[in-house]
Structure 1
Amino acid sequence: MYNINEINGEELESKLSQNNTIYVVDVREDDEVAQGMIPGAVHIPLQKIPESIDQLPEDRELVIVCRIGMRSMNACLFLKQHGFEHVSNLSDGMLGWTGEIVI
């Protein structure tokens, strides 16, 4: 089994303010993303992660985001299985995000 690092919205917001190398991937559906995303996040719906894996940087810390943290955990497990070492799940999802959003 893979050990997936989890961070909450407050921790991610703090990390983003200190470090611009974090790569945030939002795996929600189009209609969810239309309500707002974390600034700088890349939108790749969960079902498209397998075909988009070559577009993800293996040398950067990835933080995967969904609405409540379940789909993003599945994406993290998939990425870990495919050799990505620096993957974290936003455990409380966008529901726990209190930072800025962009529409």
Structure 2
Amino acid sequence: MASSGTKDISYEDLKALLGKSENLFLVDVRSKEEVDKGRIQGSVHIPLDTVDAALAMEPEQFKAKYGVTKPPLDAPELVFHCQMGRRGGAATTKAHELGYVSARNYAGGYKEWSTKEGK
């Protein structure tokens, strides 16, 4: 189902990274309305239509806008997610095109996360 070159990450793998990794950079590409209903703790909200611009920003600009340090191009644990996987996949593809070689998509999305987390 994933397009060629797009790496996916499973719920279990993401859960493990959230628990132990300091390098995880989790990006929620859903709309503000969706995020307001619930989000994965630790995620950074960057709507899909702004991902290109966000990842092209200078680090200082990025930090000022999102309150977190911009991930480097070789960030080992850059993960995008949306509600059901499609927009996360699109964001991951954009990130790859911009040079984020290890970017991955949490294909289960917030729908799977909230179900498994019982939220």
Query: For this structure pair, what is the TM-score category when the shorter chain's length is used for normalisation?
Result: 0.7 to 0.9
Matched positions, count: 101
- Structure possessing the higher relative contact order (Cα contacts under 8 Å, 6 or more residues apart): 1
Q: Which runs of 5+ in 1 are unaligned?
A: none
Alpha-carbon separation, structure 1, partners of 2:5 and 2:107: 14
SS for the counterpart of 2:5 is coil
Q: Name the aligned partner's letter for residue 50 of structure 2.
A: K
Alpha-carbon separation, structure 2, partners of 1:8 and 1:15: 11
SS for the counterpart of 2:79 is strand
Show the counterpart of 1:83. 99
Q: Which runs of 4+ in 1 moved over 3 A?
A: none
Report the CA distance between 1:2 and its aligned residue. 5.1
Q: Which runs of 5+ in 2 are unaligned?
A: 63-69
Larger Rg: 2
Alpha-carbon separation, structure 2, partners of 1:94 and 1:26: 9
Report the CA distance between 1:59 and its aligned residue. 3.5
CA RMSD of aligned residues (A): 1.9
1:65/1:94 contact within 8 Å kept: yes
The alignment's TM-score, normalised by the length of structure 1, stands at: 0.88
Identity value in percent: 31
Show the counterpart of 2:20. 18
Tell me which of 11, 34, 37 is aligned to 1:35. 37
